[in-house]
Amino acid sequence: MKVTAGWKWGAVGAVLALSGCVSSGTAEQNQTLSGTATDQNSTTAQTNTTGTGGAKGQLTGAGATFPYPIYSKWFDTYGSKNGVQINYQSIGSGGGIQQLKAGTVDFGASDAPLKADDEKAMPGPVVHIPTVGGSVAIAYNLPGVQSLKLDGPTLANIYLGKVKKWDDPSIAALNAGAKLPSTTIAVAHRADGSGTTNIFTTYLKTVSPEWGTKVGSGKAVSWPTGVGGKGNEGVTGVVKQQPGGIGYVELNYAIQNKLSVASLKNKDGQFVEPTVDSTTAAIAGGLPALQKDIKAPLVNEAGAKAYPIVGLTYILVYKQQKDPAKGKALTGFLKWAMADGQSMAKDLAYAPLPAEVIKMNATAIDAIK
Amino acid sequence: MVAEPATSKTPERSTTPERSSLIKSGGLFGNNVGDSIFYWGTMLFAASVLVVCLLIFLQLWKGALPSMHRFGIRFLYTRTWDPVQEVFGALPFIYGTLVSSLLALLIAVPIGLGTAVFLSELAPPWLRTPVSFLVELLAAVPSVVYGLWGIFVLVPALRPVEIWLGDRFGTIGGHDVVLFQGAPYGIGMLAGGLILAIMILPFITAVSREVIRAVPPSQREAAYGLGATHWEALKGPILRYARTGIMGAIILGLARALGETMAVTMVIGNSPNMSWSLFDQGYTLASVLANEFAEATSDLYVSALIQLALILFGTTIVVNAIARLLIWSMVRNTQQGIVRE
């Protein structure tokens, strides 16, 4: 135990100390620690980019692990082009928000927007800039079943423990012609707090009132049933090895690991597979909501091609920047991320933002002083 | 600042006759200045351990205060852990920590002790060194590697074993055996206990072997001289002599099992159940911390997690204290036994 608690705080301290050293020194080498690209607690993972000449600016950020692969690519590319050195610690959204609150970083990153209470508790007004979209894929393991179709209420009932067998009439009705076995459904979910869980449970809450009253939504919830796996790899481990397994993972993880994923029935009644395009379509479908509030959830959005379990990941910055030079470097980077940066998203299985959202972001970025 | 004149006189005072005579005569600090430095230096090191423990405790206590105020003593015996409603209770995690650790001891102690006895007493020399080396190698494997091995190798292998156990021993004489109920996923308490057992095995084996080797040869010679068999010599003079040390080895293993995080998290299933079944999923204190700390945002949530850390701290202290008492009473009994004999 001593080790555990000490390690936690010690690691945070070590990362802080490390980032301090890096940003204060004139780090000459151009290095990118492409550590764990998945959504796990890689406390030590950080990107360090320097320009070829003298650094024009230095920024530090901390937060979400989900966008870490694309962020590290952005920081690296932007840094070598414009000489702005950006250090990012992917310590988790919670840690990023804490550090932004304490003023130890220039920007935070979070998979979920700040709750109203948390936003009030910040020392100043915070601007949410969505950077890319992601979706949550439903992976399953049914030997002999080539494609699986599910709808929201059925998925919620599986995760509520009410639908227990694969040949349940509610699943059979959606998959006419498929030979569904009578195996027990082995439900797997994330055990570690994560933005993926937040998006997934928000979706279940939207499509199932019972889920809303019994469980609710959040980065970690009290699961009615199932096995908890640590990280995407933990959930995948259960699903891949247990015949009859079902679990939810980030889209890019499902693509990399070639998992069988289910098509989900969207708001328009179409069955849609999770892809980068169907994710972008869902963000487009959510535009009316986003135009009212950039923090609106993007689950079960309208659109024939829209995949229903989608979310945005955000960079959080203070509206009033204390250091004008840093503020300028930050807005410079954000503008670049909205333009050149977006074209890099698709290769890494993130969904680029629709033009309308980029326009909204441009207004928000201009408001940062 | 007021005391400045006094402090500036101190160097002069240190050369006063009393002080120098104390040093010359050996006195409090040994025979010379070197000894004195050595004494204070080592004491500083020893004290730093105490200070670190104390600071950890204070920090945890401070962090846990909001949760303690909110939930009071209920935190220890309620079973709900719901971050959405912000209702927290630690019982399933305390249960999971204790049960998985005890399970690990049940498996690792006989194997570890058997290996230690074989290596120190019975094994031919050509076998002794490589096996000892391999056992110690187990201790050097990082726990995340054990965890991944657990998910991808141990758990699939365990599934048919669990199915077999469930079929064979699930019901005996018309009665359900609670240990072998439920769906045989492979992931669960049994997998957690097994992986912990493998992880603590090298500690128990290596320390026990050293302790048994340290038994004076006269003990063995006396036993064999009286015509004792291998087994008689072992269970009497040798193991009796070494048993406090062996207890120490087991405690070392237990302490490691209680605090182990990553490997257990990957195979135990991470569900706050309290079930008698070995197949069911469980959750340990260390696992919850590893899983939920990084993404916990609300103050009460973080505080409840810190209180879990405090409980783990307390559990470790209580378990170690019980173990110390056990050793202490053993030593006392042994000494009394010697006096009586």
All structural domains of chain A = 11-134+316-366 (3.40.190.10), 136-299 (3.40.190.10)
- From the list A217, A221, A238, A220, the residue with the least C-alpha distance to A229 is A238
Contact A238, A247 (CB under 8 A): yes
pLDDT number for residue A109? 93
Q: Which residue of B has its CA nearest to A64?
A: B295
Output the pTM of the full model. 0.79
Q: Choose the closest CB to B81 out of A94, A216, A222.
A: A222
Spell out, as residue ranges, where chain B has pLDDT lower than 50: 1-16, 20-23, 26, 337, 339-341
What are the beta bridge partners of residue A134? A311
Cα–Cα distance measured from residue A318 to residue B217, given in angstroms and rounded to the nearest whole number: 74
The pLDDT, as a whole number, for residue B28 is 55
Rounded to a whole number of angstroms, the distance from the CA of A73 to the nearest CA of chain B is 23
Closest CA to B203 of B156, B271, B139: B139
B191 touches chain A (CB under 8 A): no
Give the Å distances, CA to CA, from B53 to A5, A17, A140, B79: 11, 22, 46, 29
Amino acid, single-letter form, for residue A106: D
Closest CA to B193 of B104, B99, B285: B104
**pLDDT-based confidence at A105, cuts 50/70/90?**
very high
Q: Give B285 to chain A, closest Cα distance, Å.
A: 9
Task: Determine whether the interchain pair B294/A92 forms a contact, defined as Cβ–Cβ distance below 8 Å.
Answer: yes
Task: Give CA–CA dist B109/B283, Å, rounded.
Answer: 23
Q: In angstroms, rounded to a whole number, what is the distance separating the alpha carbons of residues A281 and A306?
A: 5
Distance from CA of A217 to the nearest CA of B (A): 7
Those residues whose C-beta lies under 8 Å from the C-beta of residue A200, and which sit 6 or more positions away, are A136, A248, A309
Q: Are A201 and A163 in contact (CB under 8 A)?
A: no
Please give the Cα distance from A72 to B102 (Å, whole number).
44
- The C-alpha atoms of residue B320 and residue B256 are separated, in whole angstroms, by 11
Buried b (16+ CB within 10 A) or exposed e, B26-35: eeebeeeeee
For residue B341, the model assigns a pLDDT of 40
Q: Delimit the domains of chain B by residue range.
A: 91-336
| Average pLDDT in chain A | 83
The structure tokens listed for B156 are 């699939």
Return the pLDDT at B335.
59
The better pLDDT of the pair A146, A41 is held by A146
In chain A, % of residues over pLDDT 70: 85
Q: Which of residues 115-154 of B touch A (CB under 8 A)?
A: 147-148, 151-152
Question: Does residue A165 surpass a pLDDT of 90?
Answer: yes
- Cβ-count burial A26-44 (b if 16+ within 10 Å, e if not): ebeeeeeeebbbbbbbbbe
State the sign of the Cα–Cα–Cα–Cα dihedral A150, A156, A157, A160. positive
Q: Which of A14, A12, A56, A6 is nearest to A328 (CA)?
A: A56
- Parallel, antiparallel, or unpaired for β A84-89 and A57-63? parallel
pLDDT category at A201 given cuts 50, 70, 90 is: very high
| Cα B305 to Cα B71: distance, rounded to the nearest angstrom | 13
CB of B261 within 8 Å of a chain A CB? The answer is: yes
Query: Which positions in chain A touch B298 (Cβ < 8 Å)?
Result: 118
d(CA B56, CA A16): 19
State how far the alpha carbon of A255 is from the alpha carbons of A57, A68, A273, B148, B228, in Å: 36, 17, 12, 21, 67
- Which residues are bridge partners to B171 per DSSP? B176
Which is the CATH superfamily of the domain at B91-336? MetI-like (1.10.3720.10)
pLDDT band at A362 (very low <50, low <70, confident <90, very high): very high
Q: Which amino acid is at A325?
A: A
CA–CA separation, A88 and A107 (whole Å): 9
Say how many CB pairs under 8 Å bridge A and B. 140
> What are the pLDDT digits (tens) for A15-32?
434 333 333 333 333 333
What distance in Å separates the CA atoms of residue B97 and residue B81, rounded to the nearest whole number? 16
Asked if B127 and B118 touch (Cβ cutoff 8 Å), the reply is no
Q: Which residues pair with A332 in a beta bridge?
A: none
Residue B230: other Cβ atoms inside 10 A: 13
Confidence (pLDDT) at A18: 39
What distance in Å separates the CA atoms of residue B157 and residue A23, rounded to the nearest whole number? Answer: 49
Quote ipTM for the complex. 0.75
A1·B285 Cβ contact <8 A: yes
Q: What is the pLDDT of residue B167?
A: 82
Work out whether strand B81-82 and strand A84-89 pair parallel, antiparallel, or are unpaired.
Answer: unpaired
Q: Which residue of B has its CA nearest to A97?
A: B297
pLDDT in tens, A216-266: 998 899 999 999 998 888 898 889 888 899 999 999 889 888 899 999 999
Rounded CA separation B135/B113 (Å): 12
pLDDT over 50 at A319, yes or no: yes
Residue A3 has pLDDT above 80, yes or no: no
CA distance B94 to B78: 11
Give me the pLDDT at residue A70, please: 92
A3 neighbourhood in chain B, CB within 8 Å = 259
Cβ–Cβ below 8 Å for A220 and B269: no
